[in-house]
Amino acid sequence: MSETVPSRQAQKERTREAILAAALGLSHDHGFAQLSLRQVTRAAGVVPTAFYRHFDSMDEVGLALVEQSFTTLRGMIRDAQRNPDIVDNLIDASADVLVAAVKANREHFAFVARERLGGSATVRAAIQHELELFISELALFLARIPQLARWSGEDVKMVSGLFVRNMVYRAEQVVETPVGRPDLEEEIKRKARREMRMVVLGFKAWRSDA
């Protein structure tokens, strides 16, 4: 009996992951909003009744994929907070980390890039919510930078938003970059660094009461 319960739980988790993986893969060609439950269950190798043991609707699948995708971004921030090299070399390190993270999780970043402006309204709203959370988390990290010590919380969050919007744009470019083109990846990093430096140059001159 003690072996059966963990085995059933493991099988249940495998089924859930198979459904999510199938939806993620199919969304690449068709767009998530165009997918049907039957398409996903067929690709996952499960019957439709098994789907409803894990999700109430396709929108719930989309929300789970959004959560999976942003787990990577949240991990990037937490790793940065523990890494003194990133804190000391924020601009260069951020560009390197971003490109590496997108390459390692290309399908999830591609999903966010496709769905954040089109498709399911539920999924779009979830992506926007996650981006706002990401901006808030990054703002907590940026507040540790000495040049921002006297800034208001609103202004720190504003500059965090500038960084995040730049990262999203550059991440979408990495997604579209053909595999095996490090020259194009380096050009994306170069542009991202220049843009971030332009923002940072304004740190000293900015006053929150301006």
Arithmetic mean of pLDDT over the chain: 86
| Domain range 1-55, CATH architecture | Orthogonal Bundle (1.10)
Per-residue model confidence as pLDDT tens digits over 9-49: 788 889 999 999 999 999 988 889 899 999 999 999 999 99
Instruction: Tell me what pLDDT residue 45 has.
Output: 94
CA distance 78 to 51: 33
CA distance 36 to 88: 48
Domain locations in the chain as residue ranges: 1-55, 57-201
Residue 126 contacts residue 63 (beta carbons within 8 Å)? yes
**Average pLDDT of span 146-150:** 82
Per-residue model confidence as pLDDT tens digits over 72-107: 777 776 776 676 666 557 677 778 888 888 888 888
Residue 97 contacts residue 80 (beta carbons within 8 Å)? yes
Superfamily of segment(s) 57-201: Tetracycline Repressor, domain 2 (1.10.357.10)
CA distance 175 to 39: 25
The pTM of the full predicted model, rounded to 2 decimals, is 0.82
